Structure 1
């Protein structure tokens, strides 16, 4: 029987930029849960920078 795959295990196999983008998307999936408007804004800015660098 296969063991469950964790998010960390999956992301660790991605190229660095893709791993960063995946982590950001996970965090922004529920922005209200972050409980920090500054963090949320920073994540949106970082996401835009990563997208622009493609």
Structure 2
């Protein structure tokens, strides 16, 4: 799984994040997105604890 996941954290207060907000329709923070290599959102969630994140990644 490590080779298949690239984590990205975006500072939503930064000026250039509006591109991400629009592209992925981010409506609230935190937002967790699992995105495939084509940019298609596979999973969308709000706050997720460590256990929940592992569950999402195992799907």
Higher strand fraction: Structure 1 or Structure 2? 2
TM-score (norm 1): 0.26
Structure with higher RCO (Cα < 8 A, 6+ apart): 1
Which one has the largest radius of gyration? 1
